[in-house]
Amino acid sequence: MSRGDLSREANGLEPRLSRASVGRLSLYLRCLESYAREGSATVSSGQLGDVLGVTDAQVRKDLACLGNLGQPGIGYPTAELIAAIRGALGIDRDWAVALVGVGNLARALLRYRGFAQQGFRIVALFDVDPAKVGQRLDGLTISGVDQMPAVIAATGAELGLLTVPMEAAQQVADALVAAGIRGILNFAPAVLRLPSHVSLVSVDLAVQLEQLAFLVQVSGNYSGPEPTTR
Amino acid sequence: MSRGDLSREANGLEPRLSRASVGRLSLYLRCLESYAREGSATVSSGQLGDVLGVTDAQVRKDLACLGNLGQPGIGYPTAELIAAIRGALGIDRDWAVALVGVGNLARALLRYRGFAQQGFRIVALFDVDPAKVGQRLDGLTISGVDQMPAVIAATGAELGLLTVPMEAAQQVADALVAAGIRGILNFAPAVLRLPSHVSLVSVDLAVQLEQLAFLVQVSGNYSGPEPTTR
């Protein structure tokens, strides 16, 4: 396969690629960007595997879906592999993001450098609290939920970050969907029901701590490294 | 198996239980606690599966490791299943938690009700910034990293929450390990290297957004629901 086929190959990614594989692509990307900053033109599957704690065979398997980029004895061309992974993940473009629920977590996310580095721009803030509506934070004005359709249309936000209390989560998610959002990253400890055309990733922070407690209890680590776990 | 065997059975859990299964146990627990508050004495595998978006066969398979609690046509006894899951996850006890890096994310985590509800108590705060050391927040005094061994011994903290910038993450993680911490929940976008006796769960918030972007791009959802994903 020629390298010109890369984007087609990337678009042909199995849509039901496991969460673990997609998560590892993100982590390979972090490593590759670090190697690129250090000036490495090529990176081996062994180097990538070492950092993530997976075998080089697993690395080659994960990266095979991006085309035949790796060369035996040479490795992967760093810049091209970065571009291929960004294409596969859908972050070879910017994403405009709306954030709902302006509390401490929202403030942390607004200043989280990792989002902007990967092309995620927070372009709109919403809160249900009338006392917050109209206030400015990091150059953005907080809007009310009733203004959501207009503000989301005007800003072009496609993804929503949900940092509201559990009780408000479903109602606000419904409002985001009605306003045309295509995917929601949910931090509220609530199970959301969304129409099938809207994607959902939930981050339940207590679940993460429970997973850690489980691991400590069994003095273990997960056998197959998952996206965000060694 | 008699019900008295439950804790033994729970302790006999396969240590390499997949992250997906452990995550689902946490989510079943959320549902069960909600049913318990509503007064339901029994819950069916179908009810649990509906909420998580998995088949009732998957629910029964996940819960089989807890012993023969389910009865055909009746369901699972809510209170006993809650106790069994808490035992299996290692949250049938309290965990004292030390938090390192007192920024916006830390403030959000300090006030995150879900932690206390599941028995995670933040008992110590640390920061590398001398200007923050000595300040009080939510009833706790912020200590310097040099005080870590003494404070962690005094508070009995076993788990560490890492909310420091990427650059500081490895150094602070090493300090936590040296002070006797058994597990770390890492929010810094950095791949940490820890000794094998210390467990690690990493939450890279940009990875979560990248996963969402991938899903939106392919208009998909994960085929097998993972712990924190529909």
Q: Can you give the CATH number for the domain in which A141 is found?
A: 3.40.50.720
CA atoms within 13 A on the CB side of A149: 5
User: Helices marked H in chain B — which ranges?
Assistant: 6-11, 19-37, 45-52, 56-64, 78-89, 104-110, 113-117, 148-155, 166-178, 205-217
pLDDT > 90 in chain A, percent: 47
Residue B165: predicted pLDDT: 86
Q: Which of B89, B119, B145 finishes a domain?
A: B89
Give domain status of residue A215, yes or no: no
Whether B158 contacts chain A with CB within 8 A: yes
**Does the predicted interface ipTM exceed a cut of 0.90?**
no
Give domain status of residue B221, yes or no: no
CB A191 within 8 A of CB B27: yes
Do B212 and A199 make contact, defined as CB atoms within 8 angstroms? yes
Residue B198 phi, psi (nearest 5): -110, 125
CB atoms within 10 A of CB B16: 11
Whether B97 contacts chain A with CB within 8 A: yes
B120 and B168 both lie in a single domain: yes
> What does the alpha-carbon distance between residue A142 and residue A139 come to, in Å, rounded to a whole number?
10
Give domain status of residue B41, yes or no: yes
B165 and B199 both lie in a single domain: yes
Give domain status of residue B56, yes or no: yes
A101 and A202 both lie in a single domain: yes
pLDDT over threshold 70, residue A205: yes
Residue B10: predicted pLDDT: 37
CB B67 within 8 A of CB B3: yes
Residue B18: predicted pLDDT: 67
What average pLDDT does the segment A163-189 reach? 93
3-state secondary structure of B142: strand
Q: What is the pLDDT of residues A7-50, one digit of tens each?
A: 223 334 444 466 677 888 888 998 898 899 999 999 999 999 88
Cα distance from B70 to chain A (closest Cα, Å)?
Answer: 23
For residue B142, the cross-strand partners are B125
Q: What is the pLDDT of residues A94-138, one digit of tens each?
A: 999 999 999 989 998 998 877 888 899 999 999 999 999 999 999
A56 and A134 both lie in a single domain: no
Residue A221: predicted pLDDT: 53
Residue B198: predicted pLDDT: 94
What average pLDDT does the segment A211-228 reach? 63
The rounded Cα A56 to chain-centroid distance in angstroms is: 24
The CATH number linked to B41 is 1.10.10.10
Do B199 and A182 make contact, defined as CB atoms within 8 angstroms? no
B121 and B201 both lie in a single domain: yes
Give domain status of residue B230, yes or no: no
* Chain B contact probe: residue of A217, A222, A226 with most B CBs at under 10 A: A217
A41 and A62 both lie in a single domain: yes
pLDDT (tens digit, 0 to 9) for every residue of chain B, 230 residues total?
333 322 223 334 444 466 677 888 888 998 898 899 989 999 999 999 887 778 888 899 889 888 888 888 889 999 999 999 999 888 999 999 999 999 989 998 998 877 888 899 999 999 999 999 999 999 999 999 999 999 999 999 999 999 998 889 999 999 999 999 999 999 987 778 899 899 998 888 888 888 899 888 887 554 333 433 32
Cα distance from A31 to chain B (closest Cα, Å)?
Answer: 9
Strand-strand pairing, A159-162 and A183-186: parallel
3-state secondary structure of A198: coil
Distances (CA, A) of B130 to A169, B101, B145, B178: 38, 12, 10, 21
3-state secondary structure of B200: strand
Residue B24: predicted pLDDT: 85
Q: Which of B60, B89, B118 finishes a domain?
A: B89
Give domain status of residue A150, yes or no: yes
B104 and B193 both lie in a single domain: yes
3-state secondary structure of A187: coil
Give domain status of residue A155, yes or no: yes
A191 and A112 both lie in a single domain: yes
Nearest CA in chain B to A53: B193
What average pLDDT does the segment A131-154 reach? 96
Cα distance from A86 to chain B (closest Cα, Å)?
Answer: 9
Which of A17, A90, A212 comes nearest B185 by C-beta? A212
Q: How many domains is chain A built from? A: 2
Q: Which of B32, B62, B89 finishes a domain?
A: B89
A111 and A183 both lie in a single domain: yes
Give domain status of residue A223, yes or no: no
A57 and A82 both lie in a single domain: yes
B22 and B47 both lie in a single domain: yes
A24 and A69 both lie in a single domain: yes
Higher pLDDT, A224 or A67: A67
- Locate B202 and state its tokens: 């990493």
Q: How much is the pTM?
A: 0.75
Cα distance from A146 to chain B (closest Cα, Å)?
Answer: 25
Q: Output DSSP code: residue B75.
A: B
Q: Which helix (H) or strand (E) holds B159?
A: strand B159-162
Q: How is B13-40 classified by DSSP, letter by letter? A: S-TT--HHHHHHHHHHHHHHHHHHHTT-
Side chain identity at residue B184, one-letter code: I
Residue-range definition of the domain harbouring residue B74: 3-89
